[in-house]
């Protein structure tokens, strides 16, 4: 058993400056070690498992004499219980490092998940939507919480404030939180059930989205007003206006038009073939070009393969077509809404079958049985329909007419 030295006071300890090991008393084996350079630290010398061990208890004066004695007594108590204080400290440090390595906040997990999945998403806008919704609604509440600690109450605190007012956003947000937490579980950052899952869980706590709010449609121009609108649109200058005009004439989506290439156009056959990579349904789509669309294309300069480039030669932004409408003081409608204008015209002013209009819009056929048997794309019928659409869009309406597939126009 270590011999107890004469117990020194705090003032005595402060005067120990000569190099070496100075016993301070109070606890057997406790000493102040002074190096040749004058650095001082506490050492506890004790027998552990039949071997002498020198255990560091911290530097002086950061660790005071009283603190060193307390640490020395705790170490000796462990030795008495058969525990090696040095190995015990190493094990605790190792466990702490492992815990830190396995710890990830929700914000970190969301960032990692997006980085992994972004390459398979349709466009950069989708990734931005993920980041924006999570940053706006989720991260202020759970962003700094470790994913292993996120529970149902946390998820409800995110969703409840917006579930009734912004149902569609909240629905998408819930799905995104669920995916991030699923990723974290598979990667080993959390365990147990996903507190953001809907079926059999949150569906018992929140109202069904379909019963809270009907899906909002894009504001659309009444089709009888289209002719007058096109007159004003054709007065607008710039590629944005021409892209919007082409989108209306083809009933195409904004992204399909903004990314359109000359190599996709066959002017002789009046056909625009859009590759699957740029289509919402991920299937190649043939669009029939009416005479008005062909005339528009022929009037455009060719500075590269991109049909509607911006001033730098790059693709127009998704806000460019909206900016055209704002310049025309038409913030009451959207570029995408013209697809609804076209669809309404098909239903109320023509006798073309529903599936012809749906294929022109590149929509999926809703009936799975019909889709299984449908092999063609009704292209010739669509060509005739788009021809009528081009004529209709260029005429200011004075009376309602119905355009049949064959035969004379009926007033």
Judgement on whether residues 133 and 189 belong to the same structural domain of the protein: yes
Instruction: Read off the pLDDT band of 407 (50, 70, 90).
Output: very low
Half-sphere exposure of 274 (CA within 13 A, CB side): 26
Tokens of 167: 């149902």
Query: Quick count: other Cβ atoms within 10 Å of Cβ 322?
Result: 19
Q: What is the pLDDT of residue 271?
A: 96
| Residue pLDDT, tens place only, 132-171 | 899 989 999 999 999 989 999 999 999 998 898 888 889 9
- Separation between Cα atoms, residue 378 and residue 346, nearest integer Å: 15
Work out the average pLDDT over 36-55. Answer: 85
Judgement on whether residues 342 and 242 belong to the same structural domain of the protein: yes
Judgement on whether residues 235 and 360 belong to the same structural domain of the protein: yes
Judgement on whether residues 97 and 68 belong to the same structural domain of the protein: yes
Q: What is the pLDDT of residue 286?
A: 93
What is the extent of the structural domain holding 200?
106-212
| Model confidence, pTM | 0.50
The CATH number given to whatever domain includes residue 87 is 3.30.160.390
Query: Quick count: other Cβ atoms within 10 Å of Cβ 228?
Result: 13
Query: Which is higher by pLDDT, 122 or 390?
Result: 390
Query: Quick count: other Cβ atoms within 10 Å of Cβ 336?
Result: 17
Is residue 47 assigned to a domain? yes
Q: What is the pLDDT of residue 261?
A: 96
Judgement on whether residues 206 and 112 belong to the same structural domain of the protein: yes
Query: Quick count: other Cβ atoms within 10 Å of Cβ 393?
Result: 23
- Across the chain, mean pLDDT equals 85
Is residue 372 assigned to a domain? yes
Judgement on whether residues 54 and 149 belong to the same structural domain of the protein: no
- In 39-62, which positions are buried (b, 16+ CB within 10 angstroms) versus exposed (e)? ebbbbbbbebeeeebebebeebee
Instruction: Read off the pLDDT band of 409 (50, 70, 90).
Output: very low
Judgement on whether residues 192 and 314 belong to the same structural domain of the protein: no
Count each helix (H run) and each strand (E run) in the chain, helices first. Answer: 18, 7
Is residue 39 assigned to a domain? yes
- Total number of domains constituting the chain: 3
The CATH number given to whatever domain includes residue 353 is 1.10.443
Judgement on whether residues 149 and 279 belong to the same structural domain of the protein: no
- Separation between Cα atoms, residue 210 and residue 175, nearest integer Å: 15
Is residue 273 assigned to a domain? yes
Work out the average pLDDT over 328-352. Answer: 90
Judgement on whether residues 341 and 266 belong to the same structural domain of the protein: yes
- Separation between Cα atoms, residue 174 and residue 189, nearest integer Å: 19
DSSP result, 179-230:
HHHHHHHHTTS--S--TT-TTTTGGGTS--HHHH-PPPPPP---GGGHHHHH
Q: Does residue 408 have a pLDDT over 50?
A: no
Within 263-378, residue ranges assigned H as helices are 291-298, 320-327, 337-349, 354-360, 368-373
Judgement on whether residues 200 and 335 belong to the same structural domain of the protein: no
Judgement on whether residues 150 and 173 belong to the same structural domain of the protein: yes
- Separation between Cα atoms, residue 352 and residue 59, nearest integer Å: 89
- Separation between Cα atoms, residue 257 and residue 255, nearest integer Å: 5
Which residue among 101, 126, 158 closes a domain?
Answer: 101
Is residue 147 assigned to a domain? yes
> H/E element holding 60?
none
Left if phi > 0, otherwise alpha if psi is -120 to 50, otherwise beta: which for 327?
alpha
Judgement on whether residues 83 and 176 belong to the same structural domain of the protein: no
């Amino acid at each position: 058993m270590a011999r107890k030295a004469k117990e020194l006071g705090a003032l005595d300890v402060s005067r120990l400056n000569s190099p070496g090991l100075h016993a301070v008393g109070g606890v057997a084996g406790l000493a102040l070690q002074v190096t040749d350079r004058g650095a001082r630290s506490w050492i506890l010398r004790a027998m552990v498992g039949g071997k002498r061990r020198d255990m560091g208890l911290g530097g002086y004066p950061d660790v005071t004499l009283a603190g060193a004695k307390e640490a020395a007594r705790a170490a000796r108590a462990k030795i008495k219980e058969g525990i090696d204080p040095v190995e015990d400290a190493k094990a605790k440090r190792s466990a702490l490092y492992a815990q830190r390595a396995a710890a990830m906040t929700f914000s970190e997990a969301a960032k990692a998940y997006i980085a992994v999945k972004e390459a398979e998403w349709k466009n950069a806008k989708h990734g931005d939507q993920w980041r924006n919704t999570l940053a706006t609604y989720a991260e202020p509440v759970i962003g700094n919480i470790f994913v292993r600690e996120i529970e149902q109450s946390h998820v409800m605190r995110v969703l409840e404030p917006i579930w009734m007012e912004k149902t569609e956003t909240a629905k998408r947000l819930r799905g995104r939180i669920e995916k991030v937490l699923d990723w974290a579980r598979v990667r080993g950052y959390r365990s147990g059930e996903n507190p953001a899952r809907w079926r059999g869980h949150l569906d018992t706590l929140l109202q069904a989205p379909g019963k809270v709010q009907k899906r909002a449609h894009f504001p659309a121009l009444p089709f009888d007003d289209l002719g007058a609108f096109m007159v004003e649109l054709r007065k607008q200058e710039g590629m944005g206006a021409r892209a919007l005009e082409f989108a209306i004439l083809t009933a195409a989506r904004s992204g399909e038009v903004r990314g359109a290439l000359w190599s996709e156009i066959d002017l002789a056959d009046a056909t625009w073939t859009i590759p699957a990579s740029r289509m919402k349904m991920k299937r190649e789509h043939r669009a029939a070009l009416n005479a008005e669309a062909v005339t528009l294309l022929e009037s455009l300069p060719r500075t590269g393969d991109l049909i509607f480039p911006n001033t730098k030669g790059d693709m127009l932004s998704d806000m460019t077509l909206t900016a055209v409408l704002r310049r025309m003081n038409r913030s009451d409608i959207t570029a995408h809404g013209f697809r609804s204008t076209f669809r309404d015209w098909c239903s109320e002013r023509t006798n073309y079958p529903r599936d012809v209009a749906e294929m022109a819009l590149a929509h999926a056929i809703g009936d799975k049985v019909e889709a299984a048997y449908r092999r063609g794309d009704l292209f010739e019928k669509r060509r005739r329909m788009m021809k009528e659409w081009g004529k209709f869009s260029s005429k200011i309406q004075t009376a309602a007419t119905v355009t049949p597939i064959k035969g004379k126009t009926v007033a």
